[in-house]
Chain A
Amino acid sequence: MKSCVMGIDFGSTTAKAVILDLGGRMLASQVAHMGAVSGEGVAAAIAGALDAAGLAQADIGRTVATGYGRRMLDIADRNYTEITCHARGAVAMVPQARVVIDIGGQDSKVIAVDAQGLVMQFTMNDRCAAGTGKFFEVLARAMEIELEDMGALALQAQQSLKISSMCATFAETEVISLLAEGRSKADILGGVHAAVATRTVGLVGRVGRKGPIVMTGGVARNPAAVHYIEKALGEALILPEAPQIAGALGAALIGLDDYRREHREELEGDDALEAQMALDKACVPGCRGVPELAPPPATAPRGNAAALWKRIQSHL
């Protein structure tokens, strides 16, 4: 039996990896930025997490992948959608959360979850960039500012401009004409963030406000986005310390459930572990909240961290 499990979130602009021990403690997490879906980025995230935990690939008993690139990772034993994984990870980080807002690079989603981190209902933006990280990216470019500076600048808005169209293309031309009109970047950005917030609140409405709302995903690190969404919702969002790794953590937890169930008999003697698992309600072996897993495929051979990049690259 191995000592750890790993979750990998192979997203559109970043890759995240999380390693847990069998008691559900997080040993390491890693976020790697990359361009488009890139094998290099995901290899860096995995290798970084393994290094940080002082582990080799061979120590990992189960690997679960999520995110847009999830099916490209042959080192993963299973893959789950980011909806299932984000829900699970967010509730693990914030147990009282019943609604998860996740705004990532390519999509935004709102998920209603139960106490075990299981998806009750979810909704996502339509296919265009409206209200996603991409929308912010396009506008940052149009305004010639760094994406990272956007939030801080938007919080300095003095006047509230109402921006109602959410089409990134139209927004871009409009932003340019507003700049030409002499509007301040801060005011324009305030309007942009308020518009994204309105859109997000619409999605929250669709799944219903079931309880405390947690926000995950890269955009959760943008203070203006958080501020405007809170304003539009009329309630505070709960922000986990590392909002970006929710998906990878959820994937790891699903892997953990799976691995523990498989090794249930070997684990029975370990009192400390059993106590820990009893505390960790969502992770009790045989927990009825765990997605039922399909029969596992033949175990994939596992290499070590150094060889990862080549392997991944060959599958992209």
Chain B
Amino acid sequence: MSVTTESANHGPGAPRPAPRANRLVSTRAGGEMVRNYWDNLFTARERGATVVWYNGAAINPILQAAGVEWCHGEAFGARLAAMHLEEPAQQEGEAYGYINELCSYARTTLGCALLTRKEASRRVEVDQAPGVPDKEVLAARLPPPDLFVNAYAGCSTGQQWDEISYRLFDKQLPFFKVSYPLLWGNKPDAGYLRGEEWDNASKYVAGQLYNLIEFLEHQTGNKFDWEGLRESMHYIKRAAQLRLDALELCKARPTPAVFWDWVASIAPINFLPGNQALVDYFQGVKTEIEQRLEQGVSALPNERYRLAFDGIMNWNKVGWLANKFAEHDAAVVCGRYTHNSFWHEPQLIDEDDPILGMAQHYLLCPFNHSAQNLAEQVLGDCETYGIEGIVFHATRTCRSATNGQLVLAKMAQQRGLQTMFFEGDVADESFYKDEILQSRLEAMLETIDVQRTRLS
């Protein structure tokens, strides 16, 4: 059970206002860019644009070069949840028959698909639906698709979900799927960015991307703009490098920015067009962090603990969680979802011939690794950022994000890191249990205190 009201953070008579996270200001510009992107997308049909609905990897540069507009289903689901506007879509999904243990991204965006269909056939009577008209309008505003592309790594549900999207639109629309092998590691030479398996998987996915381009050319009648692709990958590579540089600055103690700031920067790097504006955005973020370092401004008023966050985001609770950790003087410095994802190995991108590097990034989805691979990345980051404990978000309806977590926790414990789990979900707040997070977090921080006493 969670309670959402303005004053729910602290009860009456609390002795002092709880410390709050000092969030980056520069990320607000990203919020604006993302809002404009969606507003523009909502009018795609009126503008006569061709619309692709896609899920999974950031194939948007390919879609852009194919001359189509792109709608990332999960991103929209996340957006609805972050705005607390997910309910109408989820109710529509539930009425259609989805059980609430199903991936809440899928339930939400399939609910949107149902609403979009209704809207398209002018059957949605939002003005007459009491209580929720404004909310439903947003959930129903996606432009109907002209084609589907599924590019989901790691998660079988992600692929199956678009089989349903395809069926919800009467199996009439062209549909292409990119498949990815899990980076599993059958052979001893396998590992992060290395081994025969990695090479083979990279080539397999790259081959499919060329096929995807052919498919898009065939379906749209547009000649693929290779020069355009190279250009957007040039900007994306620069933006990605700036993001990495800025992340790196957070090795500082106290840290100038926290995980929640990086969460706010996911949408721009995940699906906005590769252009100078994107580069400017990440330059802005990096500059703000540099200024903070110069001026001695930190993300938390009193950083006392440094933690990592593992798992996919709980979109209903970003601000809530940011303050919750700040209240406990716990700086969440890094996380798998922000640090091991989203064009995070830009050196792999050959700007002149970007397809292979793109394929490799798609394979590097943070949920497409074996536990061994995850440990290499996540525990490496823990060392880099001086982490004392890992907070695992046991994401109720996302098996893809929770695979390997318990094993990873054991490996982390072996290295002397503290670990804790809390339950929640990507886009369904009913699974979040505040009291569990609260008590486990406190217990973990107490343990870190005890550990420090023993070491000192």
Contacts and interface: CB of A to CB of B under 8 A. Distances in A.
A171 B95 CA distance: 25
Contact of B3 (A163, A180, A182, A232): A163
| Category for how many chain B residues contact A | 20 to 34
Interface string B55-99: 000000000000000000000000000000000000100111100
Given A174-B435, A208-B95, A234-B130, A163 B11 contact: no
A163 B1 CA distance: 5
Contacts, number: 61
Interface in A148-200: 159, 161-167, 170-171, 173-175, 177-178, 180-182, 191
Contacts of B5: 159, 161-162
Contacts of A206: 94-95, 97
Contacts of B95: 202, 204-206, 208
A210 interface: no
B91 A202 contact: yes
A191 B5 CA distance: 12
B218 interface: no
- Of A178, A180, A191, A202, which is in contact with the most chain B CB atoms at under 10 Å from its CB? A202
Contacts of A231: 130-131
B3 A161 contact: yes
Looking at chain B's contact residues, the main secondary structure is loop
Nearest to A162: B4
A238 interface: no
- Of B2, B3, B12, B430, which is in contact with the most chain A CB atoms at under 10 Å from its CB? B3
- Of B4, B91, B430, which is in contact with the most chain A CB atoms at under 10 Å from its CB? B430
Interface string B119-139: 000000000011100000000
Given A165-B430, A165-B433, A181-B11, A170 B94 contact: no
A180 B1 contact: no
Interface string B1-38: 11111001001100000000000000000000000000
B422 to A, nearest CB: 13
B290 interface: no
A27 interface: no
B429 interface: yes
A181 B435 CA distance: 13
B129 to A, nearest CB: 6
A32 interface: no
A170 B129 contact: no
Contacts of A305: none
A55 interface: no
A277 interface: no
A174 B433 CA distance: 9
Contacts of A166: 430
A165 B91 contact: no
A161 B434 CA distance: 15
A201 interface: yes
Nearest to B84: A162
Looking at chain A's contact residues, the main secondary structure is helix
A231 B130 CA distance: 8
B12 A182 contact: yes
Contacts of B97: 206
A201 to B, nearest CB: 7
A170 B1 contact: yes
Given A206-B94, A206-B95, A234-B129, A164 B2 contact: yes
B430 A202 contact: no
- Of A164, A175, A206, A234, which is in contact with the most chain B CB atoms at under 10 Å from its CB? A164
Contact of B2 (A165, A182, A205, A208): A165
A24 to B, nearest CB: 36
A164 B12 contact: no
Contacts of A171: 1
A164 B91 contact: no
B1 A165 contact: yes
Contact of B435 (A173, A191, A208): A173
A166 B433 CA distance: 11
B429 A164 contact: yes
Given A161-B3, A208-B95, A177 B131 contact: no
A178 B95 CA distance: 31
Contacts of B131: 231-232, 234
B91 A174 contact: no
Interface in B245-271: none
Contacts of B430: 164-166
A122 to B, nearest CB: 14
Nearest to A191: B3
A174 B4 CA distance: 13
A206 to B, nearest CB: 6
A181 B100 CA distance: 30
B3 A202 contact: no
19 contacts: A159-B5, A161-B3, A162-B2, A162-B3, A162-B4, A163-B3, A164-B1, A164-B2, A165-B433, A166-B430, A167-B1, A178-B3, A181-B12, A201-B91, A202-B100, A205-B91, A205-B94, A205-B95, A231-B131
**Top 10 closest A-B pairs, CB basis?**
A205-B95, A174-B1, A165-B1, A164-B430, A181-B11, A234-B130, A202-B94, A182-B12, A162-B4, A163-B1
Given A159-B5, A201-B91, A206-B97, 13 more contacts: A161-B5, A162-B2, A164-B430, A165-B430, A167-B1, A170-B1, A173-B435, A177-B435, A181-B11, A182-B11, A205-B96, A208-B95, A234-B131
